[in-house]
Amino acid sequence: MKLRHIKLILCLAAVLVTLFSLWASHVLTQDLKDEERRRVEIWAAAMKSLTTADQGADMTLVLQVLESNHTIPVIVADAEGHIIDSRNLPSSFQTATDTLEAHQSMQRAGHTMRIDLGQPSTGAKGKAAFITVSYGESQMIQRLTLYPYVQLGIVALLVAVAIYALLSSKRAEQNKVWVGLSRETAHQLGTPISSLTAWSQLLKANYPDDPILDDMETDLMRLRLIAERFSKIGSAPELSETNLGEAIDHTVQYISRRTSDRVRMYCSLPSERIMARINAPLFEWVIENLCKNAIDAMSGEGEIRIYVFRERDRIVIQVSDTGRGIPARHVRDVFRPGYTTKKRGWGLGLSLARRIIEQYHMGRIFVERSEVGVGTTFRIELPRNGRQ
């Protein structure tokens, strides 16, 4: 099963758990609200009985009902809106104004009951006296209302941790593959390089003036460099202060000698030296990969421009070409291992470039801009002090 399918299943499971939790919490909260309203109705009836009772009547049961409410906030007001009594209000309510505002807020929310006392009210002849009982939600309901959101956060956190663990596991597995492939490649190159070096020395001894041997030595040096690069991919490379301009210029000259005259390469370097903590063989490999991809994108004809400059606390390298460009939907895929538009190729060049820049040099590499039919610009950012 592919990783994206696993992530989709985890996210879908999280959504289903959350929806079920929200539904169950809603049903439970609504049942509790109905139950609390019935309790308030009983409490209000007891309050009416206490208010209208004759002297000498036994109010023991009524008082027990009134005293049994320890959780639901209630406020009793007379016909003129004056507060008569209140229970279970938050400790933050210090003044009568706070209580009155809470009473009005409960009324606006529809949490109120009118209790007719059945006798004329003072100053309102002919009208029945009444009191209003307003009530709020108990702490239990408030907690149940918040519970689904807390659970949602926990589920989201668990899903995020699971996805991160999957990604870390996959990344660790990929790292093992990279290390094994790189070391095996370097090892396999070692034997023929040693043999070719010995043959080169033998030929030089017999034909010291043959110019072909110089080209052979150049190619052997190139093979040694490739083997060195692969050996460094499999382990943490050593970084050192290097003149960035010289490293880039060295790569540009190498590419220029091995490509068509129809490909024009321009390198814009600042007048002062730009020093950076890099591993020169690996960094040159990155620039070489970007240039080769640009040449392929231009079908062997066009311009490649390389710009190097400082930007705040970073060193920036831009590699632009006049090739066919990258469609917007594929921009995020170009660094994915195996992605390639070539008929021949493994699609590892840009993936290796990202690994070298981001993991070994603590920098960034990304497509800064690309337009189909116009060209593409890759941007590399390196920290000036060798740290991110």
Residues 6+ apart with CB under 8 A from 265: 252, 255, 256, 291, 303, 304, 305, 306
Residue type present at position 74: V
Percent of the chain at pLDDT above 90? 15
Question: What does residue 170 show for φ and ψ, rounded to 5 degrees?
Answer: -65, -40
Structure tokens at 153: 């956060």
Give CA–CA dist 211/225, Å, rounded: 22
* Residue whose structure tokens are 């006049």: 322
CA distance 375 to 224: 33
Least confident of 109-123, 344-358, 374-388: 109-123
More confident residue, 320 or 281: 320
Mean pLDDT of 90-107: 80
- pLDDT of residue 147 exceeding 90, the answer is no
Give burial (CB, 10 Å; 0-12/13-18/19+) of 317.
buried
Write down the pLDDT at residue 107.
Answer: 82
Mean pLDDT on 347-359: 83
Higher pLDDT, 6 or 204: 204
Q: Average pLDDT for residues 229-235, to the nearest whole number?
A: 68
283 with 248: CB under 8 angstroms? no
Q: Does residue 230 or residue 223 have the better pLDDT?
A: 223
| Whole-number pLDDT of residue 133 | 85
Q: Which of 39-43, 161-165, 183-187 has the lowest mean pLDDT?
A: 183-187
Looking up tokens 């956060």, which residue turns up?
A: 153
Of the spans 125-129, 154-158, 289-293, 344-348, which averages the highest pLDDT? 289-293
Predicted pLDDT of residue 3? 60
Average pLDDT over all residues of the chain: 80
- Per DSSP, the residues of 203-251 read HHHH-TT-THHHHHHHHHHHHHHHHHHHHHHTS-PPPEEEEHHHHHHHH
Q: How far is CA 359 from the centre of its chain?
A: 18
Whole-model pTM above 0.75?
Answer: no
Which one has a higher pLDDT value, 189 or 348? 189
pLDDT of residue 342: 64
Rounded mean pLDDT, 358-385: 90
Going by C-alpha positions, the residue among 313, 243, 319 that lies closest to residue 277 is 243
Question: What was the pLDDT predicted at 387?
Answer: 45
- Per DSSP, 270 falls in state -
CA–CA distance, 346 with 288 (Å, rounded to integer): 16
Q: Which of 256, 253, 189 is nearest to 224 (CA)?
A: 189
- Over residues 347-354, the mean pLDDT reads 80
Q: At what angle do helices 280-297 and 212-233 cross, to 10 degrees?
A: 110
The residue ranking higher by pLDDT, 11 or 125, is 11
Q: Is the pLDDT of residue 126 over 50?
A: no
Between 58 and 279, where is the model more confident? Answer: 279
In this prediction, residues 295-299 reach a mean pLDDT of 89
| Residue 57 amino acid letter | A
For 149, list phi and psi in degrees, rounded to 5: -70, -35
pLDDT band at 376 (very low <50, low <70, confident <90, very high): very high
Tell me the angle at which helices 280-297 and 244-257 cross, rounded to the nearest 10 degrees: 40
Mean pLDDT of 37-59: 77
Task: Reply yes or no on whether the pLDDT at 388 is more than 50.
Answer: no
- Give the domains, in start order, of the chain with CATH numbers: 73-136 (no CATH), 239-383 (3.30.565.10)
Q: Where are the beta strands (DSSP E) in 250-354?
A: 263-268, 275-278, 302-311, 314-321
pLDDT > 70 in the chain, percent:
85
| Averaged pLDDT, 104-116 | 82
209's tokens: 């003036």
Highest mean predicted confidence (pLDDT) among 55-59, 68-72, 338-342: 68-72
Of the pLDDT bands very low, low, confident and very high (cuts 50, 70, 90), residue 341 is low
Partners of residue 278 on adjacent β-strands: 240
What pLDDT sits at residue 357?
92
